[in-house]
Every structure is written in C-alpha cells, then in structure tokens.
Chains A and B, each alone.
Chain A
Amino acid sequence: MNGKTKAAVLTGYGINADYELEYALRASGAEARRLHIHELMDSPKMLDDFNLLAFAGGFSFGDDLGSGKVVANKFRFRLKDQMMDFVKQGKLVIGICNGFQMIAKMGLLPYADFSQKVTLSFNDSGKFEDRWVYLKMNQKSPCVFTQGIGGLMLPVRHGEGKFISDGATLKDLAAKNMVAMQYVNERDEFAGYPYNPNGSAMNIAGICNPEGNVFGLMPHPEAYNAMTNNPFWPGVRERITDWKGSGMKIFENAVSHINGKF
C-alpha cells in the first residue's frame, strides 16, 4: 500500500456519520473512502485494500434488536476470519458510537476473538442525549489512537452508551490499560451524571484491545473537526490560533502510526 494510510469507512443500513468520518480521515492525511457493508460482504477480499477500517456512527437498522447488533451479526456470521486476520496483521480498526456498539457486540473488542465480553446498553437517564463531555486519556494505554493526548472535549450523542461488563473483564481491562478513554469533569476528576453521560462502568468512554490497534469509543472525534464545533468556542474566539478541531488528533495518530508500515 506504499506506506500510505488507506481507510475504509463503512456505510449503509442507517449508518450516518460516515461522511464526516471520511472527511476527518482525509484531512488527517489518509486516503479514505466510504464503503457499503453490502459491497464488503459480497467481496471480502476488498479488506486487503485497506489498512484502517472505520465503523462509523449512526443508527444501523434503527437500533432495533439492540444498537449495532444486526451489523455485528453480519460480520460474525459472514466475515469473522477475514476480520480476525485484519486485526492480527496489526491493521487499525476504530468504531465510533454505533460503530463501537457494533465491534463490541461482534466481539472485536476487547480481545478481537469474536467472543462478546462487553456491551453498551441504555443510558441510565433512560434517554438519548446530545452533550459535550470532558475526557481523559490513559497515558499508559497501548491504544494507537490516543497516544500523546491528555484531555479532550468531544460530543456524545447516544441512547445506548452505558458500558457494561462482568467484574473479571473490567479488572482485566484496567490491568492491561485497555481503558483508553474515560469521562471526567472539567477538573479531570471522575464525576457522576452528566459528566459520565450514561452511567458507564469505571467511567469508560472508550477501550482498546491489548495490542492497541482496535479502538472503540462512544464520543465522536470526527464531529470535532473544527474549533467552531466546540460549544464554548465563541467565548475564546480571540485566543484561537489554530482552527483545526482537537478531535482530529485521534485520526492523525492513526495515520502517523500506519504510514510507512504497510
């Protein structure tokens, strides 16, 4: 692939945050294209053309039968081996919001073994909510996407974002620094609702696999592609020098990790 980042942004079936994700990847230096899941299912060999697979957010199948579930099953029933191979090669996978729900439910996270250990379920508030949250990255995490990022503000917008798992898995996630991203308040402390917008266990906003090349998160970095996305920007207008959105660092990390590798 000439050492370039070639990203596929999956789309179709009600996925709807694909255009901005494609833009974010391109603006970060990747070659990116939207790819319909149907196309991929029809010719799985297409996966070889890419070294970054992005599961975009949206409402695949209207969240009927549980968010992300139906797409997760499509992959489990029809593309399991190819996906495991993709991850084993060290290629990158990112799942955002509905995309995180998909890769969690297909078992691509946390261990990329297609066995489901975690889920994202109904928010404690009982409703869909759109709000910006404060996030803290785990500096010790192997996560490729969050390297070198301390804090970040991003929007969340979901009704099913509460991270749930069993005690042993949670322990392992913590021990292996797979908890890459957590909800905090403006002072970097863990806090309750609405800072943790959904009631996630351990304030988890995003996790990665032990190798760090698969990352799933509920907040939307692609929706912070310009400073003008941040709801506080008019208050600090005079101080902004670089108008690029801070969410783009996530994708720049991916691109600089891949470049030269494949």
Chain B
Amino acid sequence: MAKRIEVKFKDEIRDPRAEGLAALLREEFKAKIARAAVIEAYNIDGELSEDELRLLGSEVFSDKIVQEYSSSKPFLAEGWRIEIGYQPGVTDNVGKTAKDAIRDALNRELDVYSSMVYAIIGEVDEEACEKFGRRLANGLIQKITVRTPHSDNFEPYVPKVALAQEIRVETVKLPADEDKLEQLSKKRLLALSVREMKAIRKYVSSDSVVKARRQAGLGDELTDVELEVIAQTWSEHCKHKIFNAEIAYSEDSDSYNVDSLFKTFIRGATEMLRKPYVLSAFKDNGGIVKFNPDYDVAVKVETHNAPSALDPYGGALTGILGVNRDIIGTGMGAFPIANVDMLCFGNLNEKNVPHGVLHPKTIYEGVVSGIRDGGNKSGIPTVNGSFTFEPGFTARPIIYCGTVGLMPTEIRGRKTADKKVEPGLIAVMVGGRVGKDGIHGATFSSQQLETSIPTSVVQIGDPITQKKVLDFIIEARDELLYEAITDNGAGGLSSSIGEMAEQSNGCDIWLEAVPLKYPGLQPWEILVSESQERMTIAVKQENMERLEQIAKKHEVEITAVGKFTDSGRLHALYEGKSVAYLDLDFLHKPPRLKLTAKWKRKTFVEPNVTERDLGAVLRKLLALPNIASKEHTIRRYDHEVQGKSVIKPLMGNNAPCDAAVIRPVFESWEGLVVSHGICPKYVQDSHDMAMMAFDEAVRNALAVGAKLGYMAALDNFSWPDPVQSEKTPDGEYKLAQLVRACMAVYDCSIGYGIPLVSGKDSVKNDYYGKDGKYSIPPTLLMTVIGKIGDVRNAISSDFKGEGDAVYVLGVTREELGGSEYYRIFGGLGNDAPKISLDEVMPLYRAFSGACELRLVRSAHDISDGGLAVALAECSFPSGMGVEIDVSKIHAETQNEDALLFSESGGRFVVSVAEKNVEKFEKAMHGTKFSRCGRVRGDKRFVVRKGESVLVNEDGRDLRGIWNGVKI
C-alpha cells in the first residue's frame, strides 16, 4: 500500500511560488484567480506507520517554520487541483532525494514518486484547468490530472515502470529489396540510408564474417543488438558523415572537389598553424590548450537542439550536463570551471507557430531554467553567452552549451592530456543506472523533427548525481586509479566503450552486469541507452579495490561491465552468450557520402526606410530583443561560484560585457578569456556570415584584453539538412552554404592565426509539420578561448570617467544588410558586412598591445545595432553621457543611418583617459582609428555630424527603454 504526504506553505506565510503561478495564469489566460497554492506531494511506495508518517511529514518533507503537511487528506480540496507527476520511467530527481532522506530518517529503503499539485480557487472550469495543466507540464514526460473541487481523492501517484516482456535477442533479416531496407531503417529509428543498409548487408554476408560469427555462437543474420550498435556508431551525430563526405562544389563557372570539409578546412587549418600551445585537437572529447606551465585547459561546445525543442527544460539541462561530461572525459579528466550558453529562439511574441511545435516563449523559459539548474546546481559558473531571436528558429531552437575545464598538466609525472586504453583493462561504468530514457538519442538527433517522436528519446539530467560523479572522478584521477576515461553520451555504452576499444583494438561487454533502473530492458536497449550521468573508465585490476572505496565515500555506483581486448572486435555478451560480434574496422568506417553543392547568390528584398529621426530609430533599436538588456535572465545564472570571476556577463551597473575573464588558478593572476560570435541573421552569404561570427568572437576576446597570438577557437555548425532529396529540393544550395562557411572558417583561422581545437556539427535542423517544412538559417557559432597575462589588466565595456576620450577603431561601411536597423523596417537587404583580414589584423595587433600597456579604460565591440547602440551600452551603466562627432570616424559612407547603425565588422568603441591619449595614439599608429568624442559628466547622449546634431537624447530615457524589455 502506497502512502502520500502533501506539503504546502502555511496560509499566513507568503509563498512566492504560488504568487508566480497566479500571476502567470492571470497574465497568459486572463484567468480570474482568487487564490492559488503550490503543493508538493510525496508518493511513497510502501507501508508506513502513523508515527513514521508523522516523522516524515514534520521533520523530513516540510519546513515547520513556513510549511504544513498532511498525510490523510488533500490540501485545498475546495479548489480545482491540477496534479502533475512524471510518466513512468522519467527521471524524478525529487523522488530520488526523498528516498535518500527517508533512509536517513527511518533506515528504510522506499521508492518515492514526487508530484506537484497546483490548487486554484477562482472562476475557472475543467477545460481551463486542463489548459493550465498543459502550460505547466510537458505532456511528453509528465502526466496531468485535474480534480474537481471537493474531491477528497488522496490516492498516491505511483508511476512504476512495468516492463513485462521477456528478455530476448532478435535476429534481423536484411531484405534484398531497397524499399524494404529503407522501411526497416525507418521502423527501427536507425536513421541509416539505403546505401548504408546495403553496406551492412554486404558485410554480414561475407564469408569471413559468417565464419567468425558462427565461431562466436551467432547465426548468419545480424542481431538487433548489432544493428543498433551500427546505427548508433554510424549516426550523423557520431560520425559526422556530411563533414567527411566527398563534395563536388560549384559556383558560377568555377567548380572543384572537396575531400572532406573537416579534413580540408577545419583540421587543415590547425595543422597548417602548428601552434605549440595546442595539446590536443579533434581527437578527444574536447580540445586541450596549454594554459601555463602547470595547467592545461580543456574546452568543448555542443548543441542540444532536438531534445530542447521537445522538452526545453530537460533538453537544455541535459545539454549542459552532457558537455560538462565531455570535459570531465577529456584527457585524464578536467574539472569544469566555466559554462557558456548561446541560445537561438523564435520571437517570444510570435503569432504564427507551426502546428506541433512549442511556442518560442515556452521553449525559452524551459531552456533558461534548464541552463540555470544545469550550471548552478553543478557549481559551474555561467560566464558568457547570448540570445539570438530570429523567426527562423521558431520551429527549431538552437541550443549551444559549452564548458571549459582545468587540469593539471601532470600528475606524478603522468601527462594528463593523454590517455591510453590497453588490452586487459577493465571497462568500468561510473554513475547513474541505465533505463529506457534516452534510447535513440544519437540517431534521433540525426533526423529531422517530426510530430510523432517516442517519449523514450527525452532525458532529464540530474546535476547532483553528476556532481558526485565529478567529485569521485577527480579524486580517482589524482590517485591515478584509471588509465583512460570517456563520457557516456550519444549512443551510450556502445559508443563510449566502442570508441575506447579503438585504441586497444577490441572489447568484450557484459550486458547483464550493467546496473538497471528497473528490470526488463532488452540487451540492445542496455547497450545504446543514453541514460545520463555516466562515465566509462578503463581500470587496471589492481586498482579496483581502492576505486571501490572512493566510490563508496562519494555514494557513486561503479560496475565492471566489460574488458578491453585486442580481438579487433566489439563483442557483447548477455549472460555468457554472444549477442553482438562486430569488426571494429567495419564499425568505425561507414561508407562515405558523395554530395553535390551548388552556390548561386540570391537577391533579398530591400527595406522601406520610413523613419528619418535617428533618435527615434535608436529608441526602437534599444527595445529590440536582440539588443535590449538581458539582465533579467542573466541574473538567474550563477557567475560567481568557484570564486574566479573577473569580467562577468554584467559588470558595474549592468554593463553587458564582450567576453568572460576568469582566473582559473587562485595562486596566479593569469587569466582565461572566453568569447563567442554568432550572427545567423546575415543570411545573404554564409561565407560572410561565418567571417563575421569568427571576427566577432576574436573582437570580443580582444575587447576584454585577451592577447592576440594566444587564442584557440571552436567551430559549431547548426545547419538545415544539406543533402539533396525529395524532402530537400534545395539541398545543393544548403550544402554550398556549408562549404562556403567552412572556407571562411579556414581563411579566418589562418588569417587571425587562431587554430581550431574542437567543434561539432548538427546538420538536420528542420521541422516537418502538417503545414510544411521549416528550416533554420545556417548558424555558425565561433567560440574563442584566449589568455590574459594578468587579469588586473582586464577591461570592461562601460565608460569610466568624465572627459575620457572616446575613439572608434576600424572602418564603417554602408553595410546595413541583415542589420537590426533594417529589421525595424522589414527587409533583409543585400549589403551585409564583410571582413577584410588584411585590414583588421594590424588594428587588432596594435589594440592588443595598447591593452597590455593598460592604456584602455573601456572597450566594446560594435555589432548589433551599430555604433549608436554600442555607445549606448558603454554609457548607460557608467551613469555618464557621451558626445561624439561621426564625421570624424573612418568611414566609406557619408549616409547618416549607415554611420550610426551599420554593423560593419572589425570595429570597437574605446575610451582612454586624457593622460594616456598620446601613448594610446602612438600604440595605434598606422591603423584606422579616430578620436571622435568624449565621455560627458551628465547623462546626455549626443551624436553629431560636424555641426548638425543627429541624436540628442536623455540617457536615462534610453536606458529605461533598453532595460524595460523583460528578457
């Protein structure tokens, strides 16, 4: 018999959660709510005495100062009660904690299922409550029950998983017919093409394979385990088939072949540059860069787009925790010291949301909460990030999560950047148990979103379990108790052990040994499940005992689940019987794609500019979601934990900063800089878009004082499906966009002298709804990590002193295409910004030198909204005004709107104390820079062009607008 305890705030105590609920329902549904309450329910699967219930209610589940509990009847039964609990098998973190807490109090092991009850008294009916429920819950993972007033139902909600099926391994016949092969791939969610299915068929029917399989006790047909392993390993997500394809590219009369975008343009650039500070690029879970003689940093950025579209909270949370694990699994393990998140959404007030898609506002709220919990609860500061709002992201948000980790260069003489898997080592799974959650994540992310997606692909992370795993790993690492480590991400054990086995050249996996959340999982499910918070380590037998001790202390479960061999095969067994036996050579070499890319420049509609009052334009710009202050959201993230912050997302009085600076090692003043650039709005040519993204990332890093010459970059591509097909008739164009972006990344990498150390691609960002197909705009995120010799030289963006000289560095051009200015008037225009590397590099070198000499008091890059917006962002937080004369800046245009709002790259606004003006100008000598104004002591915001005043506004009014949009 299950029991239930409800906990609620006492009537006389203010409950901000209940207030928030009432406000939300009033605002979004115009509901007439007299009273709302938030009730926590604990549904305990077991018999409990009255005394035990009392103890749990009063001492364990409620805070007696502010809350009360009931173990016999529902609270607020006179109102409507909307109960939201998890579907069976979905991770229930609160339930898990409650189980721990009961153990402490009663010394009993009882499963607990948590649920929330939202009780409402007011003029509402059943239909309204059901609507509220759908707003408050995610039907994909949660169950909503609405109870009418005066129902005294106190039934515990116990969503136990019941898998009755027997354990069995099926064999799968690969049909001769191509259509049937395709159907099979679709039916089993394998995401394999006909060509790939045929390659598999060929492999399994070859004589040597048949013979070897028979010896291993397998038949002549593939098992479901094998087919799933191949599908996971060959997924776009794991093998990057498009980036490794042979591509025939053509533009106008020119055409050439690209033999792998990745090898040619990405790794190619890094190999060309040969920077000594790059310790590991593109071979581990993350890139590794030398920080100082004693420490290295590991860095990785991932996308988590598809899951976040379906379950924004769980998707983003899992995204953060997943990339944290990548870092924990880089080299011999790094300690995460910073998170970054770059998010792209549709407009928050979008009216036209395709059928089957969550509203951008819902996605945004869920994602922000997921990032908050992912970072805050893990104790990793969120140091940098951005929001991009574009209609193109309505059907498919893009969620980039990145992490930087710190590792000692050596531990007792052993290099931490290297790891080695040798035959004979034991494969040990560390952390969470395996359930049906997250099955098919890798293959799923390699497919386009459709309206019918099974629940099992959605996962919810548990930051606390992962934090325990991290604490355990770091302690084990420092005692050198394992030889290699990797995370369990996409593809689960099949991919973590499978990839490690490449080094030793083989592995045995014992599937029955894998600890499960609940019985009844099939062997193939155990192997590919993406249940979270797991790492795999390779351990010498003699270290197992000590490892167990440390695991026990941290309350982390570790299990030997296999052994590394040199058999050349991935051999999975279930209770001693072979269930998979695959050649690693075959498994890790999927057939290469051959694709065609054709570039042809498109023409875009020019806007109809109707507003000539530039002050009025500026006011409009400051309220645009891409420009307005993001303080309301940023403050929900912890930027301070670990105590290493130097330049944070907001400095002084909410000055938005260009990049993060942290001090990774307490005993040193050396700083690490993290910045990024992302500008999908420049859709005119993905080449120029990519150049701008790279330039923005570099400029942002320079603006806080990073040293040019000691930077590394990460490239993260999010693209719509670029493979020509019936579903994608413009695939050749989209692939050409991808090729052009890659070429730009190469050119920038070489031109700036910045090697690429890690990256990722997500290339199926399309949504197929009832009413058609929706594709995202090509989106490249460039992340830069850099170094500053002494953080006490770091620079923030806000003006510092009245009378300081204001400079604009760089050249302003008539480049309004894709700008925020044009956005106001509708129409993208054609002249989007372009970067000239020859022009910007001398400027960047000189500027970096001036910063090292401490000659710069503030610096800010000029981007969204152009010079006018950049000046505004420098002046509001300082509480000071500014006055500049745009006739003095270096410009190739005399149009006033372009001077103020063009988003030309390569530019900064900088302020310099009067006493340093001479030295600064000397340092900048020979570059395109101009002194064009000064910081005013009052709050006026004045822009002149010679004698004519273009803008004369009260800075406080502008600030009010900029701050007034609640993002």
Contacts and interface: CB of A to CB of B under 8 A. Distances in A.
B646 interface: yes
Contacts of A58: 379, 641
B640 A155 contact: yes
A20 interface: yes
Given A128-B372, A165-B65, A222-B643, A62 B663 contact: no
28 contacts: A12-B555, A13-B468, A14-B377, A16-B377, A16-B379, A16-B380, A20-B643, A20-B666, A36-B553, A61-B100, A65-B94, A65-B97, A70-B104, A73-B101, A105-B63, A118-B65, A122-B15, A126-B17, A130-B636, A130-B638, A157-B641, A165-B65, A199-B14, A225-B643, A229-B643, A232-B651, A234-B858, A237-B792
Contact of A59 (B101, B105, B379, B857): B379
B596 to A, nearest CB: 50
Contacts of A19: 642-643
Contact of A116 (B64, B378, B795): B64
A105 B554 CA distance: 23
A17 B642 CA distance: 6
Nearest to A166: B65
A126 B20 contact: yes
B640 A73 contact: no
B372 A235 contact: no
B105 A69 contact: no
Q: Which of B101, B468, B648, B652 has the most CB of A within 10 A?
A: B101
Contact of A130 (B104, B464, B467, B637): B637
A38 interface: yes
Given A12-B468, A17-B641, A231-B651, A226 B663 contact: yes
Contacts of A12: 468, 471, 554-555
Contact of A229 (B13, B635, B646): B646
Contacts of B114: 64
A234 B796 contact: yes
Nearest first, the 7 closest Cβ-Cβ pairs linking A and B are A16-B379, A20-B643, A64-B97, A119-B65, A126-B16, A14-B464, A59-B377
Q: Which of A131, A224, A231 has the most CB of B within 10 A?
A: A231
B172 interface: no
B19 interface: yes
B93 interface: yes
Contact of A69 (B19, B63, B376): B63
Given A65-B61, A78-B104, A121-B66, A157 B468 contact: no
A203 interface: no
Contact of A225 (B62, B101, B471, B666): B666
B462 A235 contact: no
B958 interface: no
Interface in B92-126: 93-94, 96-98, 100-101, 104-105, 114
A234 B800 contact: yes
Contacts of A27: 666
B646 A16 contact: no
A229 B792 CA distance: 11
A188 B96 CA distance: 44
Q: Which of A116, A125, A229 has the most CB of B within 10 A?
A: A229
Contact of B641 (A16, A127, A226, A234): A16
Contacts of A105: 63
A74 interface: yes
Contacts of B93: 62, 64
Nearest to A75: B104
Contacts of A131: 635
B794 interface: yes
B60 A73 contact: yes
A129 interface: yes
Interface string A104-126: 01000000000011110111111
Given A13-B468, A70-B101, A131-B635, A119 B376 contact: no
Interface residues of B, number: 69
Interface in A83-121: 105, 116-119, 121
B59 interface: yes
B97 A62 contact: yes
B463 interface: yes
Interface of B: 13-17, 19-20, 59-66, 93-94, 96-98, 100-101, 104-105, 114, 372, 376-380, 462-464, 467-468, 471, 553-555, 635-648, 650-652, 663, 666, 791-792, 794-796, 798, 800, 857-858, 878
Given A38-B554, A234-B858, 14 more contacts: A13-B555, A14-B467, A16-B377, A20-B641, A36-B471, A62-B464, A73-B60, A73-B101, A116-B65, A122-B16, A129-B636, A157-B640, A234-B796, A235-B796
Contacts of B645: 223, 228-229
Interface in A1-52: 11-17, 19-20, 23-24, 27, 36, 38-39
A151 interface: no
- Determine chain A's interface SS by DSSP, over half rule: mixed
A185 to B, nearest CB: 13
Interface in A197-229: 199, 220, 222-226, 228-229
Contacts of A222: 643
B17 A122 contact: yes
B641 A23 contact: no
Contact of A128 (B15, B98, B636, B652): B636
B64 A223 contact: no
B641 A38 contact: no
A234 B794 contact: yes
Contact of B59 (A11, A73, A157): A73
Contact of A70 (B97, B467, B636, B651): B97
Contact of A16 (B100, B104, B467, B878): B467
B338 to A, nearest CB: 14
Given A59-B376, A73-B60, A228 B66 contact: no
A47 B101 CA distance: 23
Given A64-B97, A116-B65, A73 B651 contact: no
Contacts of A14: 377, 379, 463-464, 467-468
Interface string A157-191: 10000001110000000000000000000000000
Q: Which of B639, B641, B650 has the most CB of A within 10 A?
A: B641
Contacts of B651: 231-232, 234
A256 to B, nearest CB: 21
B148 to A, nearest CB: 28
Contacts of B857: 234
Q: Which of A123, A164, A222, A234 has the most CB of B within 10 A?
A: A234
Contact of A61 (B20, B97, B791): B97
A13 B66 contact: no
A156 B372 CA distance: 15
Contact of A39 (B13, B105, B553, B663): B553
A111 B634 CA distance: 37
A164 B13 contact: yes
Given A14-B377, A122-B16, A126-B20, A74 B104 contact: yes
A126 B24 CA distance: 12
A231 B652 contact: yes
Contacts of A62: 93-94, 97, 377, 462-464
Contacts of A122: 15-17
Contacts of A69: 60, 63, 101
A114 to B, nearest CB: 12
Contacts of A123: 16
A73 B55 CA distance: 12
Contacts of A66: 62-63
Contacts of B96: 64
B16 A231 contact: no
A130 B645 CA distance: 13
A103 to B, nearest CB: 14
B108 to A, nearest CB: 13
Contact of A228 (B97, B464, B663): B663
Contact of A220 (B61, B62, B553, B640): B640
Given A59-B464, A234-B651, A223 B640 contact: yes
